[in-house]
Chains A and B, each alone.
Chain A
Amino acid sequence: MTAASRPSLGRIALNGAAGIGLLYILLPLIFVIWLAFFRQEIPSFPPEGYSLKWFGAAANNKAFVSGFVLSLQVGVAATLIGLLLGVPAALALVRHRIVLGPAVNTLLLLPLVMPGIVLGTALYVFQIETEIATGLPVLGSLGGLVAAHTLVVVPWVVRLVTASLVGFDRTIEEAAQNLGAGPFTTFWRVTLPSIRPGLVAGGLFGFVTSFGNLEMSLFLVGPGRTTLPIAILQYLEWKIDPTVAAASVIQIGLIAVAMIVTDRYVKLSRVV
């Protein structure tokens, strides 16, 4: 046997490390999914039997349902606004020499790296001050929540759209103009389709980040207006039955479907 045909020690170690990493990511997911199907109320191993009743319980829980609806509303609105702000920002950053461009670029990514608690506190204070200054209800309103979530969507959009713009050949925009397309038509028919992978991926990741956001939202929700992660947290303060696991499984399922559908149009592994 030659040395080349024998898997090297390094390769075995690499595969092992990758396997452990993957397991580390997947294990909690597997447990939550498993738990959602347990029959008994207090999770214990081994399970006493299996049932689908917790899915029914989750679907009938008013707080979960209204939380889900609100999270969806906020996520969709924040994603749309985030795209409207993030795409022009990315275009400007890549194509024009902007005063302090690199600084602006870093600043735009900040909401992603700042701890949610810090962000939440800052926004809480800001929204209260705004309320005092303007007399308009901001804190706890849908608008206030959407504005805050837009903040965590924008970095994703800017990052991923910027990435897809870097390799973009601008002469095709000139070609469109040469053929009679004005600036708007050129953007719509030529630029946008070319940056679509970044746009879709940025929107998707922005939406998922918004949908799952807990810490920042904790500071900003109002009475009777709770997002799904907060509703789950509140439920957990009283009970630990698998209803929460079932709600999580539904969420995981939705996100998985969104990813798979997106992946059919743009290869996510290529843009991220």
Chain B
Amino acid sequence: MARLAIEHLRKSYGDVTVVDDVTIDIAEGEFLVLLGPSGCGKTTTLRMVAGFVPPSAGKIAIGPRDVTGLPPWKRNCGLVFQSYALFPHMTVAENVAFGLEMRKTPKADRGPRVAEALRLVQLTGFDTRYPRQLSGGQQQRVALARALAMEPDVLLLDEPLSNLDAKLRQEVRVEIRELQRKLGLTTIMVTHDQEEALTMADRLVVMEGGKVRQIGTQRELYEKPADRFVAGFIGRSAFVDGRIEGDGRFRSKGGLEIACAAATGAGPATLALRPERIAVGSDAEGLANRFSARVEHAAYLGALLDIHVSLSEHDRMLLQIPNRQGFVEPRPGETIAIGWAGDAGLIYPLQS
């Protein structure tokens, strides 16, 4: 049974629906990431789980408990706020002990549990400091320790790393994930950072416009994006607009005839290609689709080369090729041969 079940959750402010029919099951001990562009309803979803936003419709259950109508203080969800929200007038130890105090944990047990929580986040010895005496990274870890100390049924993290600098973010990512695995905590993390989401999640939920676009593992999202949005949001895609001419046959707006196994039926559609599936030069020989392309722009990114090309007046795409030994990036204006296999593309409905 799911540890946390969110069913048909909806939130409207007046006429505006900011979370729309969200259904997610999270398994015991799973690390689930809500990923989506800013404003897509991630925080609102998380705050409904924590009890700060009353849902307009839907149900939230933690284990066997239906918590939909419960106030925040009866939910036992540990929430780490984006701004950390440490109590400025309490020391680190008092902050961490607060949840235990609220649960009427005997005084004698609190000390060891606070110490244990601080040890987990590597802040042993910081007990008597005040939040203002800590760096951003340390404050973030106090917030985490405070949530962990109360032994929550689920851990909720709202963009926990967004206020840290890039290097620290990398470290804390790993730390949080190790800690979560060790404690077996059922966790939802919210982020708009794709890389962060991909490196940390067991499973991801891609949201857009208040709706769940796709739920799946990294591989599922990358290899079988459910729609054009996910195909463009998780990793990059080159999109070719056109129409399906018949099973296996796609014709681009610019008139290119493309063999595509995913094309079935007929009608307007978009073909999505992962940039790294497109071969260049002699690698393109023998592939089902071969075209000559004019280079518009090439960017040297170290391990990769980004090459923007146009195949016809109406067909542009991005190629991403590994920077192999001795490879010289083509110059703008040059013509190169490119190609891809018949099974490389995915088909989505054409968006206006």
Contacts and interface: CB of A to CB of B under 8 A. Distances in A.
A169 B102 contact: no
A178 B50 contact: yes
B85 A179 contact: no
Contacts of B50: 178
Contact of A180 (B52, B87, B99): B99
Contacts of B197: none
Given A180-B102, A181-B102, A182-B73, A193 B78 contact: no
Nearest to B52: A174
Interface in A88-139: none
A180 B147 CA distance: 11
Nearest to A186: B73
Interface residues of B, number: 25
B103 interface: yes
Interface string A160-186: 000000000101101111111110010
B58 interface: no
Contacts of B52: 174, 177
A193 B78 CA distance: 23
B85 A181 contact: no
B102 A175 contact: no
A39 to B, nearest CB: 52
Contacts of B77: 178
Contacts of B85: 169, 171-172, 174-175
A179 B71 contact: no
A179 B102 contact: yes
A204 B73 CA distance: 35
Nearest to B150: A179
Contacts of A177: 51-52, 71-73
Instruction: Tell me if A's interface is mostly helix, strand, loop or mixed.
Output: helix
B89 interface: yes
B98 interface: yes
Nearest to A180: B102
Contacts of B150: 179-180
A178 B152 CA distance: 10
Given A177-B72, A178-B77, A181-B73, A172 B98 contact: no
Interface in A185-236: 185, 189-190, 193-194
Nearest to B74: A180
Contacts of A193: 89
A250 to B, nearest CB: 36
A63 B71 CA distance: 58
B89 A178 contact: no
A13 to B, nearest CB: 40
Contacts of B98: 176, 179, 181, 189
Contacts of A189: 98
Quick one: which of B83, B87, B99, B150 has the most chain A CB within 10 A? Answer: B87
Nearest to A170: B85
A74 to B, nearest CB: 32
Contacts of B99: 179-180
Given A171-B85, A172-B85, A174-B85, 18 more contacts: A169-B85, A171-B81, A172-B87, A172-B88, A174-B79, A175-B87, A176-B87, A177-B52, A179-B99, A179-B102, A179-B150, A180-B73, A180-B99, A180-B102, A180-B150, A189-B98, A190-B87, A193-B89
8 contacts: A169-B83, A172-B85, A174-B81, A177-B51, A178-B72, A178-B147, A181-B102, A185-B102
Closest 5 CB pairs of A and B: A180-B102, A179-B99, A175-B85, A171-B85, A177-B72
